[in-house]
Structure 1
Amino acid sequence: MLIALISLFLAGSSGGSAAGSLTAAGVLALVVVFSAAATLAVSFLLSKTLLRGESSAFTLELPPYRVPRIGQVIVRSVLDRTLHVLGRAAAVAAPWGLAVYALANISAGGETLLSWFCSWLDPAARLIGLDGVILAAFVLGLPANELVIPIMLMAYTAGGCLTEISSYAALSEVLSGNGWTAMTAVSVVLFTLMHSPCSTTLLTIKKETGSIGWTAAAAVIPTAAGIGLLAVLNCIFG
């Protein structure tokens, strides 16, 4: 998603050329550096506020070395890791997908519930440089960030199922036709970096910490930081 948006809106008019590719790579590198800096900044603030006095050190005891058994490693990794993670993802994705399908296909007053939801979010979204469709896509894309663009396209095209566009040209046409600018793309890129983790990550945090409070904090803190940053940028450049 980041590469597509950077290539379409932030790489300049020569997006398909070598110069455009270098520009896109440079912007992506800056995004990565910014995300690392933001992580360190938030960690520093938390260490001075919510986590004041908490020890950040931990001890990791390594098990004795044994020659790995290939078959056993494959079986245990599938049973203990892959299937476990997939089970957590499915536990949220199945009902969530049904809800998204219902929103896109049930109409009220001549418009789908998804359209009503996007319209309801639109005023708040405009304050942070987004629109109602973009914000709704982030909310409904909780099971996986990969769902954000398909949900967005489904809402823009008034489709009844998740939509995927294979070419950058078609994607650019849809987004530009719905009022996207370079500033919109910047806002979406930043909000992609600074919003709630996906549902599988949140379930993992809940299991590891055993705390609903810390799980909620893991969702609220990055989202609040993202909203605050976008609000400031929108006030300055909007």
Structure 2
Amino acid sequence: MKLTKIKSFNKLLTNISGSFSGSERQQLRDQMVKDIYTNAEIIANNNVSVQGSKGGIGEKIDDILTSKWLGFPIMLLMLGGVFWLTIVGANYPSAMLGEFLFWVEGHLSNLFMAVGAPNWLHGILVEGMYRTLAWVISVMLPPMAIFFPIFTLLEDLGYLPRVAFNLDNLFKKSGAHGKQSLTMSMGFGCNAAGVIAARIIESPREKLIAILTNNFVPCNGRFPTLIILATIFMGRIFGSKYSSFTAAAIVVFLVLVGIAITLLVSWILSKTILKGIPSSFTLELPPYRKPQIGRVLVRSFIDRTLFVLWRAIVVAAPAGLIVWILANNTIGGVSIIDYVANLIDPFATLIGLDGVILMAFILGLPANEIVLPILVMSYLSLGSMIEPDSADALRGILVNNGWTWVTALCTMLFSLLHFPCGTTILTIKKETNSWKWAIFGAVMPLTVAIIVTFLVNQIFTTLFL
């Protein structure tokens, strides 16, 4: 009998709301939910007596964390703190891991020489495939091993639902779902993980919006490029004394740009090809709880860190082989990489880059970590990927090849917004079960990156150069 009444009520609600516009329907649903909770609170207050102070420590904390004035600043400070711990904490283990892996490379080279292996085989397997894998592992593993456990701890503690609560209104105005804030946050560790996290969104339309826009927040594969370029170019704008602060501020600004474009593109998609009414997101904030640290560490490392790293390795290994082949085969006496770079240079110049930079991004499709090594290799006309000995050495190489601070800014924006890595594209295909959406998920951000860098280059070149 009760089930029949509920069905009849839902049918009546559907018939009534059908005569309203989309926004009026949403307001009606929101008002009904608000009235239900208000009436429930009145009934509870009239029939239940609570001894002692009203409201526990959790409610007092929520008054601060979800405050209209304090919620966002605390959230940004928390995000900045996680970034700082990830970046600073990953530097030393990343350097140690890289040193070990390249030590192994030296012994592999000695082994190939000892058995008399041909140079081309050594180049493909060691300088191509192994060296690429070594860079991907040394750059990706330490940050993910720090970021994912911290993120999972915040999730287990109960803070992430408060983040969704704070951002719900912004995402609702953009035609998306409040839970997209959680999937977006996962993208800071890895965009492939952010795409997988979109499973928490029930609406297929809003889930697809979250998947397609997750690429606009930088993953840990793109953070090294952003941080290095911000340090050696933007960090010197206000002098060496404030260089680290300036560089950090530039990276935070780029992150905020990525979030703003996420909201803008979500709004455009919701008004065009993914048109629809945002679904209701009635979120009951769970109580705070003590995280189970041991379980969180194991789960985040196995289910997230190793899972994403393995996907990156599978994609990056063939990439190293292809890069080596292109760098060591010529057309008219010029390596294939340089030949193609010269062809695309006029277009690349329009968007503030050059042919070598754009070619590095194209070859970096399998893994964002190898973009800078490919760039340096092309500028120095070497047959294998290298990393400069210091930041000053890298700056010298780039400046000698015509870089200005506008070039650096456009390169950082292109790195922030361009197509996702091969691992993320494959993940989009798997999650949507459609190559159409996977291809769209690559072409759409590339289009945004081209438009943004073109405008920035034209404006800043006209005003300052």
Match of 2:326 in 1: 103
Deviation per CA, 1:179-227: give whole Å up to 9, x if none. 0001000100100111111111111111111011111111111110010
1:190 aligns to what? 413
Counterpart in the other structure of 1:203: 426
Contact 1:137-1:148 within 8 A present in 2 as well: yes
Is contact 2:233–2:405 with CA below 8 Å preserved after alignment? yes
User: Cα gap change, 1:132/1:82 in structure 2, threshold over 3 Å: closer, same or farther?
Assistant: same
Deviations 1:76-110 (A, max 9, x none): 964x6566544533443222221110011112211
Aligned position for 2:54: none
Give the C-alpha shift of residue 42 in structure 1. 0.9
| Pairwise CA RMSD | 2.7
Q: For 1:151, which of 344, 361, 374 is the aligned residue?
A: 374
- Cα distance in 2 between the residues matched to 1:230 and 1:168: 24
Which residue of structure 1 lines up, in the alignment, with residue 354 of structure 2? 131
1:23 maps to amino acid: T
Secondary structure in 1 aligned to 2:407? helix
For 2:298 and 2:379, locate their aligned partners in 1 and report how far apart those are by CA, in whole Å: 43
Matched, 1:10 2:208: no
SS of 2:376's equivalent?
Answer: helix
TM-score by length of 1: 0.86
Q: Does 1:176 align with 2:399?
A: yes
Once the 2 structures are TM-superposed, how far is the Cα of residue 38 of structure 1 from its aligned partner? 1.1
Identity %: 47
Instruction: Quickly say closer, same or farther: Cα 1:230–1:56, change in 2 above 3 A.
Output: farther
Higher helix share: 2
CA distance in 1, matches of 2:301, 2:392: 41
Residue deviations 1:23-51 (CA, integer Å, cap 9, x gap): 22222221111111111111111111111
Would the aligned equivalents of 2:351 and 2:457 in 1 still touch at CA under 8 Å? Answer: yes
For structure 1, which segment, 99-108 or 83-92, has the greater mean C-alpha deviation from structure 2 after superposition?
83-92
Equivalent pair of 1:88/1:203 in contact (CA under 8 Å): no
Is this contact kept in 2: 1:150–1:164, CA < 8 A?
Answer: yes
Return structure 1 stretches of 4+ with deviation > 6 angstroms: none
CA pair 211-58 structure 1, distance change in 2 beyond 3 A: farther
Moved more, 20-29 or 193-202: 20-29
For residues 278 and 237 of structure 2, the distance between their equivalents in structure 1, rounded to whole angstroms, comes to 50
Would you say the 8 A contact 2:326–2:335 is kept in 1? yes
Q: What is the CA-CA distance between 1:234 and the residue it aligns to?
A: 2.4
Asked if residue 23 in structure 1 is aligned to residue 243 in structure 2, the reply is: no
Unaligned runs of 5+ in 2: 1-224, 283-291
Number of the residue aligned with 1:65: none
User: 1:226, 1:208 → 2: CA distance?
Assistant: 24
For 1:75 and 1:23, the matched residues in 2 are separated by: 36
Moved more, 84-93 or 114-123: 84-93
Partner residue in 2 for 1:62 = none
Contact 1:153-1:164 at 8 Å conserved across structures: yes
- The equivalent residue for 1:48 is 271
Distance in 2, matches of 1:178 and 1:77, equals: 41
Structure 2 length-normalised TM: 0.46
Larger displacement relative to structure 2 (183-192 or 1-10): 1-10
Letter in 2 for 1:145: N
SS, match of residue 187 in structure 1: helix
Tell me, in whole angstroms, the C-alpha distance in 2 between the residues paired with 1:57 and 1:109: 62
Paired AA for residue 221 in structure 1: M
Mapped pair 1:166 → 2:389:
yes
Counterparts in 2 of 1:31 and 1:90: CA distance versus 1, 3 Å: closer
> Does structure 1 retain, via aligned residues, the 8 Å contact 2:238–2:246?
no
1:122 aligns with 2:345: yes
Q: Deviations over 1:135-183 (max 9, x none)?
A: 0000000111111100000000001111111311100000000000010
Residues 1:92 and 1:197: Cα distance change in structure 2 (over 3 Å): same
Distance 2:281 2:433 in 1: 18
In structure 2, what residue type is equivalent to 1:5? L
Counterpart amino acid of residue 119 in structure 1: N
Q: Number of residue pairs matched?
A: 231
Question: Which of 83, 89, 97 is the equivalent residue of 2:312?
Answer: 89
1:58 Cα deviation from its structure 2 partner: 8.4
3-state secondary structure, aligned to 1:7: helix
User: What secondary structure sits across from 2:270 in the alignment?
Assistant: helix
Question: How far apart are the structure 2 equivalents of 1:85 and 1:58?
Answer: 29
